[in-house]
């Protein structure tokens, strides 16, 4: 029997708990297929930040809002240049409180869950991928639980297909940080408000850091995962695998 996990940290953990699994436990990045064709991107006056997916008490927009507050304390003139749109969820309670405290309510637009019946025949997945491509920056929230050390949000693979800069708030996961950086994004510790504010907005309003306008061309498709599963299966079983024509 073979068992695969989505991070190397998870593989190390299971091998520590169950040493007998050996190389039968392995890591494969799952990837994602593109659900919408690439569209030309038009940059506007405002920096358009998009978050896609569920928000909760343990994966809260509040950390991002705190970083935004740090930045706008230093650069208040930038407030009119920022717009944040949330797809797929309502705001979590912590984020609602922080928006009220900081008076940033007018910076955030909550679209919520997208229903296919309202899209005129277009699938929700295709629509969401199209909306990702209309953002300048895609926000990835990792959470703050212990399991984050062994967890990479699957949404990141869809983000890579959108070819936009990913800004990730990462909690104790060097593997996720490396992945974001490898694909041209910005990864900062979720526990550091100074980093969450300054390092994100510097690309747009300063002279250091990766530029927001850099095109992101690399991504991870499902073929990558299938090839890796095929390779490990053959190595562990000693049986060559072949697809018979139907």
Share of the chain above pLDDT 90, in %: 25
Q: In this model, does residue 230 exceed pLDDT 70? A: no
What's the confidence (pLDDT) of residue 72?
A: 86
What's the confidence (pLDDT) of residue 208?
A: 38
3-state secondary structure of 166: strand
| Structure confidence by residue, pLDDT tens digits, 163-220 | 888 899 999 899 899 888 888 888 888 888 777 765 555 444 443 334 444 444 455 6
Please give the biggest Cα pair distance in the chain: 64
The radius of gyration computed from the CA coordinates of the chain, to the nearest angstrom, equals 20
- Would you call 192 exposed, middle or buried from its count of C-beta atoms within 10 A (0-12, 13-18, 19+)? middle
Whether the CB-CB separation of 205 and 45 falls below 8 Å is answered with no
Whether the CB-CB separation of 57 and 94 falls below 8 Å is answered with yes
Q: How far apart are CA 97 and CA 83, in angstroms?
A: 18
What's the confidence (pLDDT) of residue 211?
A: 44
Q: Give strand pairing partners of 82.
A: 47
Helix 155-162 vs helix 174-182: crossing angle, to nearest 10: 10
Which secondary structure element, helix H or strand E, spans residue 187, and what is its range? strand 186-189
What's the confidence (pLDDT) of residue 199?
A: 56
Whether the CB-CB separation of 26 and 6 falls below 8 Å is answered with no
What's the confidence (pLDDT) of residue 202?
A: 47
């Amino acid at each position: 029997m073979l068992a695969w996990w989505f991070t190397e940290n998870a593989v190390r953990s299971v091998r520590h708990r169950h040493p007998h699994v050996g190389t039968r436990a392995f890591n494969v990045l799952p990837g994602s297929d593109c659900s919408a064709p690439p569209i030309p991107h038009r940059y506007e006056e405002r920096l358009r930040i998009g978050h896609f997916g569920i928000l909760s008490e343990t994966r809260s927009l509040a950390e991002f809002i705190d970083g935004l507050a740090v930045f706008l304390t230093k650069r208040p003139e930038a407030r009119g240049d920022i717009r944040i749109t949330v797809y797929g969820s309502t705001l979590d309670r912590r984020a609602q409180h922080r928006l009220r405290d900081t008076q940033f309510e007018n910076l955030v637009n909550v679209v919520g869950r997208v229903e296919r019946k309202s899209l005129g025949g277009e699938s929700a997945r295709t629509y969401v991928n199209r909306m990702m491509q209309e953002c300048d920056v895609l926000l990835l929230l990792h959470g703050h639980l212990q399991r984050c050390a062994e967890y990479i949000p699957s949404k990141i693979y869809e983000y890579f297909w959108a070819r936009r800069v990913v800004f990730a708030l990462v909690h104790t996961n060097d593997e996720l940080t490396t992945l974001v950086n490898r694909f041209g994004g910005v990864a900062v510790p979720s526990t550091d408000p100074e980093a969450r504010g300054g390092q994100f907005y510097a690309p747009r309003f300063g002279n250091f850091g990766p530029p927001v306008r850099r095109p992101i061309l690399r991504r991870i498709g499902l073929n990558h995962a299938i090839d890796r599963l095929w390779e490990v299966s053959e190595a562990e079983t000693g049986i060559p695998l072949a697809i018979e024509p139907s």
